[in-house]
A and B are shown apart, each in its own frame.
Chain A
C-alpha cells in the first residue's frame, strides 16, 4: 500500500537539486509535488531528506534518474510533479521504508497533541502532605552521608526566606532556630549537607513581586541578619513598569544600609533595566544574575525527549557559557550567576556561582494563575493583581506523581532531589565552580 502525505510537514522532508533546496508539498511513495523558484530540467538528480524518528537524524536518499513535469506556473514559482528513480534499487527500498516510518511517527506525534497524556486518577497524591513526605524521604547510605559532610565544608550554605510566613518566622526567632525548625520539619536536619551552619540568608523572591517584603520588613531582617552573623543577599523578582518606583526606593535603601555597614550588599536581579541602573548608579551593591535571566530548558519530562543523549551537552549549557556574554556581564558588574539543580547537569561557566536546590523554576507568569483560579475559578481569567490575598500560602497545584512538579502562585516548580541523594552530583558541581548552595523550601 502506498504511503501518502497530502501535505508533508516541511521540517520533516526536504528535497535538493544540487545546492538548491526545494519545498516538498505532497508525497505518494516515489511521486512528489515540488515547488521550485526556478525552472528545472526534465531529467535530473534529486536528493530527498527524510526525518528518521529512530536515529533523530535526516536520512538522505539520492535519486539520480528522477524526472519532473511542470504542473503549474505560479506567480514566482514552478510546481512540478516529480518521479523519483534511482539506479540503485536499494535506495528506493530504503526510502519507501523511511517514508512509512515517517508516516507512523507523524501519526504518533499528532496523537500526543490530540490525546495529550495518559494520566489517570490514581496518578495523583491524595494530599499535599503525602507528596511532601514522599519527596523528602531520603534514606542515605552512611558513606554518602560522610561524603556530603566533607564536601560542604568549603562551600557557603544559604537559606532562602522568600515569603511572608518565613519573614515572620525569621523576625520572631533567632535565624539558627528558625532554620533548624524548618529542617527538622522536613527531616533534613541530619542530612550531611546541613552538618555545618548556614552562612547566609537570601531575602526576597525571584518570581513574585507580591512575595517580596516591604521595606520595613526587609530592613528589619537585614539588621537581624547582621546582628546574628549571617551574610545577606536581597532577591528581586522581575520588575513591572508600575514597580519601578518602589524598586528604586528599595535599592536606595539597600545602598544606604550597605554604606552604613561599610560593606557591599549582594542583590539578585532578574531584569536588565535594574542591572543597568545599578551599574550606572554606582550604588554600593553587587548585582548577581538571577534565575529568570539564566534561561535553559528545565522540565521533568526532559527524559522523554527523543535521543536526549544527542542534545544533552547543548541542553547543559546556554548563553552564559558564551565568552562574549560573560565579558558583557562582567562589564555590567556581574560575576556570579544563580543556577538550579534540575534534570540535566548544568555546564557551569568559569567563576564562582550558586546553585539552588531542591526546587527549580519551570514557568512563571506576570499574571498569577493561582489568583485567577481562586478569585475567578478560571485559570484563563487572569488579571493584574492590585491587592494580593496570598492564596499561595494556602493552596498549591499538585501534578501527577511521576512529574515531581508543583504549582505555587504564579509559577510551576520541579522537584529534583538528586543533589540530596548523590554526593557525586554535588561533588561535580563544587569541582566546577559552585561555591554556594542555596536551600529553597518554597513552602
Chain B
C-alpha cells in the first residue's frame, strides 16, 4: 500500500520520503502560462498565485535528481476541469519538456485533453483525476479506452461503491487511488464550477442562512427550531469585529482535523485500493511529514489486525481518544 503525498516545492521531498511517502504529486506552472493566463485561467485545481505550485523548470530538474536518488516518483497535476483549445500548445510543450526531464505521469481530469494527447502520440501515463468523477464502473471501463493507468476516486464514494467499481473494471493491472486525509470539500470537485482564486473566498465558505421556503409550513419543525438558533449565531458572528491577529497565526497541527478516512484504511485495502492520497499542497511541510508518519502507522496497524472492527477501535483510541472526527470521508 503506497502513500501519495502533496509536494509544495522541491525542498520538502527528502523529509517526506524519510517520513514514509512513496509517491508525490505537485503542480508546475511554467512562466509561459503565467504570462498569458497568470492563474486566472488555471492550469490545475490550485488556482491561486500565493502558493501551492512550482514555477521554475530548474526546480523540476533539481527535484528529478532527487527522485532518481530516492526512488519516490513525482507526478504532475494537470487536473483543471477543462482547458481551452488555445492553450493546448503551451500544455503540450510543458508535457514534452517535463517528459524529457523524466516526469512521465500526469493527473488529468479533462477528457478533451486526454483525447488530444493520445491523438498527438503522447504516451505519458495518465492518472484519471477525481475531478473527473468517474464514479461507476461503466465510466471506468469507458476511460480504459484511453490507456489510463490509475483511477483516483473522489471522496464522496462509499467503500462498497469503490469496491464494486474495482471488481467490475474490465482491465487488469490498473491501480486505484483513494483520498484518505485532509481538506474535505463540502461539494464534489468535479461539479464545482465556482472560482477558487486569491481575490475571494471559496464559495463553500460564504456565510449562509438556513431558510424555510414557505413560512406557513410546519414540516420538519424540530429541524427548523435548530436552524433558527444556528442562523442567529451566524448573524451575530457576522457583525462581530474580526480578529486579524488571531486568524493570521499558524494553525496548530491536529491530525486529520479537516478531513479523515483513517477508519476506512483496512476496508479500502481489502476493496482493492493500491494508493492512499494525502491532500494538502498548501500545508506547512512539518504538518505533512506528521500526516505521512501517522498514516504509515495506521496502514501498518491495519495490516496487522485481523478484523476491521479491531483495527477501527485501535486506531480511534490511538489517534482520536476514541471519538470520531466530524469531517469523515467514508461515513
Which residues does A use to contact B, with CB under 8 Å? 9-12, 14, 20-23, 35-37, 49, 51, 56-58, 75-77, 106, 109-117, 119-121, 123-125, 127-129, 207, 238-244, 271-277, 292, 295-299, 301-302, 304-307, 310-311, 314-315, 317-319, 321-325, 328, 361-367, 369, 373-374, 377-384, 389, 391, 393-400, 403, 405, 407, 410-412, 443
Q: Are A106 and B204 in contact, CB atoms less than 8 angstroms apart?
A: no
Q: Is there an interface contact between B208 and A397, defined as CB atoms closer than 8 Å?
A: yes
Contact between B86 and A314 (Cβ–Cβ < 8 Å)? yes
A114 / chain B contacts, CB cutoff of 8 Å: 244, 247-248
Q: How far is the CB of B115 from chain A (nearest CB, A)?
A: 6
Closest residue of chain B to A124, judged by CB? B209
* Chain A residues positioned under 8 Å from B315 (CB to CB): none
Q: How many contacts A-B (CB < 8 Å)?
A: 340
Residues of chain A within 8 A (CB-CB) of B157 are 240-241, 366
Inter-subunit contact B187/A76 (CB<8 Å) = no
Least CB distance, B49 to chain A, in whole angstroms? 5
Contact yes or no, B31 A9, CB < 8 A: no
How many angstroms between the C-alpha atoms of A315 and B186 in the bound complex? 24
Top 3 closest A-B pairs, CB basis? A273-B138, A273-B139, A366-B156
Shortest Cβ distance from residue B131 to the other chain A in the assembled complex, whole angstroms:
9
A367 adjacent to B156 (CB under 8 Å): yes
Q: Which one of B136, B143, B199, B207 has the greatest number of beta carbons of chain A within 10 Å?
A: B136
> B194–A298 contact, CB under 8 A?
yes
Can you show 27 pairs from A to B with CB atoms below 8 A apart? A14-B31, A14-B56, A22-B56, A23-B55, A58-B38, A109-B199, A113-B201, A114-B248, A119-B207, A124-B235, A242-B164, A244-B137, A273-B141, A276-B141, A292-B191, A295-B193, A296-B82, A301-B200, A314-B84, A318-B82, A323-B85, A362-B193, A366-B154, A378-B326, A384-B331, A398-B209, A400-B206
Given known pairs A314-B86, A394-B212, the reply for A322 and B186 (CB within 8 Å) is: no
If A14-B31, A123-B238, A273-B136 are given as contacts, then 16 extra A-B residue pairs at C-beta distance below 8 Å, sorted by A number, are: A14-B56, A21-B55, A21-B57, A58-B38, A76-B62, A116-B205, A120-B239, A239-B136, A240-B157, A273-B134, A273-B142, A301-B195, A307-B40, A319-B82, A325-B111, A380-B327
Which residues does chain A contribute within 8 Å of B56, judged by CB atoms? 10, 14, 21-23
CB of B187 within 8 A of CB of A112, answer no
- B220 contacts A11, C-beta separation under 8 Å: no
**Alpha-carbon distance A274/B133, docked complex (angstroms):** 13
Expressed in whole angstroms, the Cα–Cα distance for A88 and B45 within the complex equals: 40
User: Which residues of the partner chain A approach B38 to less than 8 Å between Cβ atoms?
Assistant: 11, 51, 56-58
Instruction: Tell me which of A57, A110, A380, A391 contacts B223 (CB under 8 A).
Output: A391
For B162, list chain A residues within 8 Å (CB): 241
Q: Which residues of A contact B51 (CB under 8 A)?
A: 9-10
A380 to chain B: closest residue by CB: B327
- Separation in Å of the B312 CB from the closest CB of chain A? 17
Q: Enumerate chain B interface residues (CB-CB to A < 8 A).
A: 9-10, 14, 29, 31, 34-35, 37-41, 48-51, 53-59, 61-62, 65-66, 69, 81-88, 110-113, 115-116, 119, 133-143, 154, 156-158, 160-162, 164-165, 184-188, 190-195, 197-201, 203-215, 217, 219-220, 223-224, 226-227, 230, 235, 238-239, 242, 244, 247-248, 326-328, 331
- Complex contacts, A399 vs chain B, CB 8 Å: 206-208
| B331 pairs with A277, CB closer than 8 A | no
Interface contact B186-A379, CB-CB below 8 Å: yes
Expressed in whole angstroms, the minimum distance between the Cβ of A368 and any Cβ of chain B is 10
Chain A residues with CB under 8 Å of B57's CB are 20-21
Closest residue to B185 on the A side, CB-wise? A365
The residues of B that contact A305 with a CB separation of less than 8 Å are: 40, 195, 197, 199
Cβ-defined contact, A412 with B34, below 8 A: no
Chain A residues whose C-beta falls within 8 Å of the C-beta of B53 in the assembled complex: 10-11
A76-B65, A391-B223 given as contacts; is B35 within 8 A of A58 (CB)? yes
Query: Closest CB of chain B to A355's CB: distance in Å?
Result: 16
Max chain A CB contacts within 10 Å: which of B39, B56, B81, B239?
Answer: B56
From A51, A299, A314, A443, B203 is in contact (CB under 8 Å) with A299
**What is the bound-complex CA distance between A168 and B116, given in angstroms?**
45
B62, A77: Cβ atoms closer than 8 Å: yes
